Amino acid sequence: MNFFLTIILDGLIQASWLFIVALGLTLVFGVLKILNIAHGSFYALGAYIAATAVTMVAARGLPPSVGFVAMLLSVALIASAVGLLLERGLLKMFYGRNEVVLLLVTYAVFLILEDVTKLIWGVNPIYATQPYELFGNLEFAGLYYVGYDLVLIPISAVVGLAIWFGLNRTVIGKIVLAVIHNEEMSVSMGVRVNRVYAIAFAFGVLLAALAGALTAPKISMQPGLSSDVIILSFAIVVIGGLGSVEGAAVGAILVGLARAASVHLMPQAELFMIYLIMAAVLMFRPEGLFKRETARRI
Amino acid sequence: MDRSWRTNCAIILATIATTSFTLAAPLSAQETFKLGIVTFLSGPAADSFGVPARNGAQFVIDQLNKGSVPSPYEKVGFGGMKIEPVIIDENGGATKQVQELRNLYQRDNVDVVLGYISSGDCLAVAPIAEELKKMLVLMDCGTPRIFEEAKYNYVFRTAAHAAMDNVGLVRYMKAKNVKMDTLSAINQDYAWGQDSRADFVAAAQQLYPNVKVQTDLLPKFGAGQYGTEISALVGAGSDVVYSSLWGGDLQAFVLQSVPRGLSKRSQLVLSAADHVLPPLGDKMPDGTIIGARGAYGLMSQKSPLNDWLFKGYEAANGVYPVQAAYRITQSILGLKAAVEKAMSKNGGKKPSTDEMVAAMTGLEWPSPGGLIQMKLADGHQAIQPIAISRTKYNPDLKRVELVDIQYFAAECVNPPPGVKSIDWIKGGMQGAKCN
């Protein structure tokens, strides 16, 4: 019994931060119809900014709790600004073009951000471990878990619920949903679509950066961080259905549990298991688990 | 007229004499030795290995060019030739490295290429050097496969391969009566991780015949997050957890596993961990058994050569040298010894590639980490002594110190010539000279 509880808990911890990254990716795709290759770079950017904030706070002798708050605030501010700047300054120039062009533009942004992070933070691993000790350790199913890892689960649940509530129960959310479902009709009803695009993209960047910030205290930040994350995030949104919040949640949980189960039961199949699930879903539900099939407009 | 004739004769004689002297002279004052150096300047391996190796190379070349290295390396540069380094980033994968190697030989006209940390890169570039008939000195990569699965004339490796690290670890554990009825392992899923794992498990099965392998994990290189793996390792509760993780991966693993009690439940045994001691500090648990892939850094033995490197490197870089700095130093000193041996046989001229290859084959030379002997692979693969120890944090100095150090002779932990390392280990490590 304890063994299965361990798998579930490990899977949920893994799913927690992956869900936040995938949520940003699926939001941007849902609204802007962009497969954002640079999404992993925003995750890395968030991690680096968080590490800088934590290090600065620690250097002033302040407690880790202040570092935790500082890293979240700094990431929120900088990531939102970067998101708005990129959408207004670059992406909007390519709206209406072929989707492949936008894909290539985000790929270019990915390459640029990779080098920008190297330029600012260098190539050596960076650590910001102080907040990792903030919540102590807990014993569960016969094993010790770091409290910080466990706290990530409710944080991601709150973030997911907030996004779902914002989209489905607020006026702004309903406007965003209207743009997702029918952009032309939204324009004819007086919706400022460009503003919705900017807000959605900034939110997407913010979510990726937030996930980066939350994982920063337990990892070593180094070049290459972004590419692994983007591959897993794509797998999650493909499983859940591009543009679906519920899909991102279920996809993240499936990926997290599959990975945890294979590490415990069949370590050699760890990566294969994730893509096996993706292939199985695509075979029976090519649109993903939660994406509704839509009639093609002519 | 007479005077004019005599003057002309004097000029002609002087010209002939000067020309003859030039032809006979071993080297002109401007002769240099162009040395291609390949090491990670960016990417995950840069911080732990690449940059220390680059810093080590710069220090040693500076010192050699000034003639400031202790005996027997006091001669300036390589046999009087100043060394001119051309440093290339190893990051970017094996395909890129193959092209970079061709560029170094064919575009930059380097005399020798020396370097490479990644086992994958070493396996990729060795056949290219052979094809071009150019000398290649591999300085670090650990996989035994380079010379065990192929034969090269122009390629050398001046450091022992990973079999030594793992045989040394198991011999140390046996000597210190470390209990190992059960064993779990976590290694990266590529040549280095897989070969290290195979060697350690095979050596453990020889010296601990009843050992049972429990959890055996191979996460991908650069995984960074090991929460699930740590659960599996802690859950298994093995007597020993072995790992050949290195760099950022090893640091992340230690940072994540210590709060979860892995080091309290199992004896951690890390085959190449010396380089993470300075950044981890008190986060590295006391009592961890570690190797440094040689008798390097805090495990190095006192000698004029070692004092020169340790103190000089520390003064130049603000941190003591770890394994990569030692390995590139022994590589450059070995090449110097080979070049000067070749020059002693050819009348002091700059040696050709074939002359250097002949001189390097089977060579022995002293290094800061001990005597290096090119004894394997028909004189192309080095063996060397190794040291293993335990960690202990010193709060006064605010750094991890290494205690309970034990040294093993090269022929105790390396296979004899003509035998594959894994076969040697599985065959009971016959012929090992451990006294």
Report how far apart the first and last C-alpha atoms of chain B are (Å, whole number): 83
Tell me, yes or no, whether B193 lies in a domain. Answer: yes
Residue B258 · residue B283 · CB < 8 Å:
yes
Do B149 and B42 share a structural domain?
Answer: yes
Asked whether the beta carbons of residue A6 and residue B248 sit closer than 8 angstroms, the reply is no
Q: Are residues B153 and B61 located together in one domain of the fold?
A: yes
Give contacts of B223 with chain A, Cβ < 8 Å: 228
Are B384 and B333 in contact by the 8 Å Cβ rule? The answer is no
For B224, which of A6, A144, A220 is closest by C-beta distance?
A220
Same domain, B226 and B206: yes
The answer to whether A218 contacts B252, with C-beta atoms less than 8 Å apart, is yes
| A120 domain residue, yes or no | yes
Among B225, B231, B234, the residue to mutate for chain A (most A Cβ within 10 A):
B231
Quick one: pLDDT at residue A296? 53
Q: Is residue B27 in a domain?
A: no
CA-based nearest residue to A277, from A37, A13, A15: A15
Chain A residues within 8 Å of chain B (Cβ atoms):
3, 6, 9-11, 13-14, 118, 123-125, 127, 129, 132-133, 137, 142-146, 149, 215, 218-220, 222-225, 228, 259-260, 263-264, 267-268, 270-271
Which of B86, B90, B84 shows the shortest CA–CA distance to B50? B90
Contacts of A125 in chain B (CB under 8 A): 44, 47, 247-248, 251, 279
B266 shares a domain with B127: no
Q: Is residue B179 part of a domain?
A: yes
Count structural domains, chain B: 2
In sequence order, what are the residues at sequence separation of 6 or more whose Cβ sits closer than 8 angstroms to the Cβ of residue B401? Answer: B298, B391, B392, B393, B394
Burial of B14 (0-12, 13-18, 19+ CB in 10 A): exposed
Same domain, B105 and B228: no
Q: Which helix (H) or strand (E) holds B394?
A: strand B386-394
Cβ-Cβ contacts under 8 Å, B255 against chain A = 127, 129, 132, 218, 220
Instruction: Write out chain A residues lying below 8 Å of B217, CB-based.
Output: 263, 267
CB crowding B313-322: b at 16 or more within 10 Å, else e: beeebeebbb
Q: Is A285 helix (H, G, I), strand (E, B) or coil?
A: coil
Q: Which residues of A touch B228 (CB under 8 A)?
A: 10-11, 13-14, 259-260, 263-264
- Assign residue B101 the CATH number of its domain: 3.40.50.2300
Do B174 and B281 belong together in one domain?
yes
B255 touches chain A (CB under 8 A): yes
How many structural domains is chain A composed of? 1
Residue B183 forms part of a structural domain: yes
Cβ-based contacts of B190 with chain A (< 8 Å): none
Strands of B112-115's sheet in order across: B82-89, B32-39, B112-115, B136-138, B155-157, B381-383, B370-376, B364-367
pLDDT at A211: 96
User: Looking at beta carbons, which residues of chain B come within 8 Å of A263?
Assistant: 217, 228-229, 232
Distance CA B128, CA B126 (A): 5
- Is B183:B239 a contact under the CB 8 Å cutoff? yes
The CATH number assigned to the domain holding A37 equals 1.10.3470
Q: How far apart are CA B295 and CA B369, in angstroms?
A: 5
Question: Which residues, in sequence order, are CB contacts of A276 under 8 Å at separation 6+?
Answer: A258
Residue B179: count of CB within 10 angstroms of its CB: 10
Render each residue's pLDDT in chain B as its tens digit; 435 residues: 455 555 555 455 444 444 444 444 455 557 899 999 999 987 778 888 999 999 999 999 999 999 999 999 999 999 999 999 999 999 888 999 999 999 999 999 999 999 999 888 999 999 999 999 999 999 998 888 899 899 999 999 999 998 999 999 999 999 999 999 999 999 998 888 998 999 999 999 999 999 999 999 999 887 778 999 999 999 999 999 999 998 888 988 999 999 899 999 999 999 999 999 988 899 999 999 999 999 999 999 999 999 999 999 999 999 999 999 999 999 999 999 999 999 999 999 999 999 999 999 999 999 999 999 999 999 999 999 999 999 999 999 889 999 999 999 999 999 999 899 999 999 999 989 997
Distance CA A37, CA A84 (A): 17
DSSP string, A57-87: HHHTT--HHHHHHHHHHHHHHHHHHHHHHHH
Are B167 and B194 found together in one domain? Answer: yes
Q: Is B171 within the bounds of a domain?
A: yes
Is A27 a domain residue?
A: yes
Strand B381-383 to B212-217 pairing? unpaired
Reading the block at residue B125, the tokens are: 């570039």
Structure tokens at A108: 């270019």
Residue A97 makes CB contacts below 8 A (sequence gap 6+) with: none
Q: Is residue A146 part of a domain?
A: yes
Strand, coil or helix: B245: coil
* Angstroms from B246 CA to nearest CA on chain A: 12
β-pairing, B136-138 vs B399-408, is unpaired
For chains A and B, what is the number of CB pairs under 8 angstroms? Answer: 101
End-to-end Cα separation, chain A, in angstroms: 55
Whether residue A295 is contained in a domain is answered as: no
Q: Rounded CA gap, B100 and B413, in Å?
A: 34
Hey, are the CB atoms on A218 and B255 less than 8 Å from each other? yes
Instruction: Please tell me the distance from the alpha carbon of residue B215 to that of residue B183, in angstroms, as a whole number.
Output: 8
- Residue A297 belongs to a domain: no
d(CA B212, CA B33): 53
- Residue B4 maps to a domain: no
Answer whether residue A292 is part of any domain: no
Claim to verify: residue B42 and residue B128 sit in the same structural domain: yes
β partners of residue B268:
B241
Nearest-5° angle of CA B167, CA B289, CA B147? Answer: 30
For residue A35, the SS3 value is coil
Q: For residue A220, which residues of chain B lie inside 8 Å, CB to CB?
A: 224, 248-249, 251-252, 255
- Where does residue A120 rank: exposed (0-12), middle (13-18), buried (19+ CB within 10 A)? exposed
Of A13, A137, A220, the CB nearest to B252: A220
Q: What is the ipTM score, two decimals?
A: 0.84
Q: Supply A165's token pair.
A: 């509530």
- Per-residue pLDDT tens listing for chain A (298 residues): 678 889 999 999 999 999 999 999 999 988 888 889 999 999 999 999 999 999 999 999 899 999 999 999 999 999 999 999 999 999 989 988 888 899 999 999 999 998 899 889 887 778 888 899 889 888 877 788 999 999 999 999 999 999 999 988 999 889 988 888 888 888 888 889 889 999 999 999 999 999 999 999 988 887 778 887 888 899 999 999 888 889 999 999 999 999 999 999 988 888 888 889 999 999 988 888 886 655 555 5
Chain A residue with Cα closest to B41: A123
Q: Which residues of A touch B251 (CB under 8 A)?
A: 125, 127, 220
The alpha carbon of A265 is separated from its chain's Cα centroid by a whole number of angstroms, namely: 27
**Crossing angle of helices A270-284 and A245-265, rounded to 10°:** 140
For residue A256, being part of any structural domain is answered with yes
**Cα–Cα distance for residue pair A176/A182, rounded to 1 Å:** 10
Record the tokens describing residue B148, joined without a space: 């065990």
Is residue B99 domain-shared with residue B116, that is, in the same domain?
yes
What is the domain range of residue A199?
Answer: 2-284
* 8 A C-beta contact, residue B214 and residue B245: no
In a domain, A293, yes or no: no
Our CA-based measurement puts residue B394 at a distance from the nearest CA of chain A, in whole angstroms, of: 21
Please provide residue B412's backbone torsions phi and psi, each rounded to the nearest 5 degrees.
-90, -30
Q: Which of A135, A144, A231 to mutate to test the interface with B (most CBs of B within 10 A)?
A: A144
Nearest Cα of chain B lies from the Cα of A135 at a distance, in angstroms, of: 11
Nearest by CB to residue B260, choosing from A118, A144, A219, is A144
Which residue in B289, B286, B277 sits closest to B239, CA to CA?
B289
Residue A103 burial by Cβ neighbours in a 10 Å radius (0-12, 13-18, 19+): middle
| pLDDT tens-place string over residues A124-163 | 778 888 899 889 888 877 788 999 999 999 999 999 999 9
Q: At what angle do helices B304-317 and B51-66 cross, to 10 degrees?
A: 120
Q: Which of A116, A220, A271 to mutate to test the interface with B (most CBs of B within 10 A)?
A: A220
Q: State the nearest Cα–Cα gap between B39 and chain A, in angstroms.
A: 14
pTM above 0.90, yes or no: no
CB nearest to B259's CB, from A146, A220, A271: A146
Does residue B97 sit in helix, strand or coil? helix
Residue B234 and residue B110 share a domain: no
Rounded CA separation B280/B153 (Å): 41
Cβ contacts of B157 within 8 Å, gap of 6 or more: B122, B137, B138, B139, B141, B146, B147, B377, B380, B381, B382
Kindly write down the DSSP assignment for every residue of B314-349, as one continuous string. HHHHSS---HHHHHHHHHHHHHHHHHHHHHHHTTSP
State the smallest CA–CA distance between residue B353 and chain A in angstroms: 36
Residue B267 lies in a domain: yes
Cis peptide before B72 (omega within 30 of 0): yes
* Shortest Cα distance, chain A CAs vs residue B42, angstroms: 5
In a domain, B414, yes or no: yes
**What secondary structure does DSSP assign to A165-200, as a single string?**
HHHHHSHHHHHHHHHHH-HHHHHHTT--HHHHHHHH
CB-based contact B311:B303 (threshold 8 Å): no
Instruction: Identify the domain containing residue B185 by its residue range.
Output: 163-292+385-426
Query: How far away is chain A from the Cα of B234, in angstroms, using its nearest Cα?
Result: 7
Q: Give the chain A residue whose CA is nearest to the CA of B234.
A: A143
Task: Looking at the structure, tell me whether residues B58 and B92 fall in a common domain.
Answer: yes
CA distance A76 to A78: 6
Amino acid identity at A26: T
Residue of A13, A218, A223 with shortest CB distance to B42:
A223
